[in-house]
A = this chain, B = another copy of it.
Amino acid sequence: MAPNFEGKKVKVGVLGATGTVGQRFIVLLSEHPFFVLHALGASQRSAGKAYSKVVAWKQVRAIPHVVRDMVIQECKPEHFSECSVVFSGLDADVAGNIEAAFREAELAVFSNAKNFRRDPHVPLIVPLVNTSHYSIIQQQQQLHSPPLKKGFIVTNANCSTTGFVVPLAALEKAFGPIESCMITTMQAISGAGYPGIPSLDILDNVVPYISGEEEKMEWETLKILGGISTEDDGKKSFDMHSKQPLRISASCNRVPVLEGHTECVSVRFAKRPPPSPQQVREAFQAYTSDAYAMGCPSAPRHTVYVHEEPDRPQPRLDRDFQLGAGVCVGRVRECRVLDIKFVVMANNVAIGAATSSIINAEFALLKGYVA
């Protein structure tokens, strides 16, 4: 049975609080049932000033009152020592050192940055998929010298990977290994942060390239969908889906959409004959996350929502369903080249970013990984 958090409050901090992802963390945490915003970190330039005086607020919602006058701190562990959980929305150019320092200071860091995603001891967790990867944390702590007791880093995936890997996980759970997968993305501009994409580049246009994105999708998916293998000496490692090689080919595009990545996916199963479109639809509907089962308050009831209309999901109409915490699929049909194709739409600024980190932290707390 899930622990009861009624009435309990867990202090949390946000690193990179003035950035795009940081603002999303703040919006979500300001209304959270048990996380309480306690400390905000940003660059030295902003430190010492009231949050509302410094931030270039770009959210549709107004700045939450709770942070309006909160004084920004430098991103140093001593300012966050009372926080049980620290969320990082830092840019990749500074996230590495700062997150490592916070871990060393025995803080639990849930990061949206890419720096530690490829670390062999850091789990890359999409909370609707692979919470089992928390089992690597103990090793991450013990490898440290001296071994850590509470500090660790957990990352979530790149926004385009996240939407894609959830339905794949549902399919592997129902039908066994996927053998190959083609994906073409149509990604929202908010995925590039702020200021991000110049308007002159994207209005009335498609940019068929996002630097590093295809490699991220191909690599991260293997880490997330793979298991953790344990050697004779007890050492654990990510198996990168190696027991059944999974070939992934991604083509990434930027389109003039504010929020919501739309992705056309086609898969081939190892299982022959492959499942029918109807069986695939049912597998999607049946799929639920451990995070939801555990009672994580930010986990969506419908992990994969299946649209029956022929022209859905669409980012503008569907990105706010379940506050963007789930994944929408539609157009499940046969593929003449692989087996089955479908469309996925996931909110890149919700489950594709801050929401994932928050569910990850909720899960860690409920499971006892966080004190």
Contact = CB atoms under 8 A, between A and B. Distances in A.
Interface string A42-59: 000000000000000011
- Most chain B CB within 10 A, of A199, A249, A256, is at A199
Q: How large is the interface on A (under 10, 10 to 19, 20 to 34, 35 or more residues)?
A: 35 or more
Contact of A189 (B200, B206, B251, B257): B200
B262 A203 contact: no
A315 B205 contact: yes
A295 to B, nearest CB: 24
Given A205-B315, A248-B336, A313-B208, A189 B184 contact: no
Contact of A255 (B186, B311, B331): B186
A249 B336 contact: yes
B311 A207 contact: yes
B206 A247 contact: no
A53 to B, nearest CB: 12
Contacts of A336: 180, 218, 247-249
Given A204-B203, A208-B331, A194 B184 contact: no
A266 interface: yes
A310 interface: yes
Interface stretch (A120-128, A133-141, A275-283, A316-324): A316-324
7 contacts: A182-B337, A186-B186, A196-B198, A199-B199, A200-B258, A208-B312, A218-B336
Q: Which 4 A-B pairs have the closest CB atoms?
A: A195-B198, A184-B184, A209-B311, A205-B316
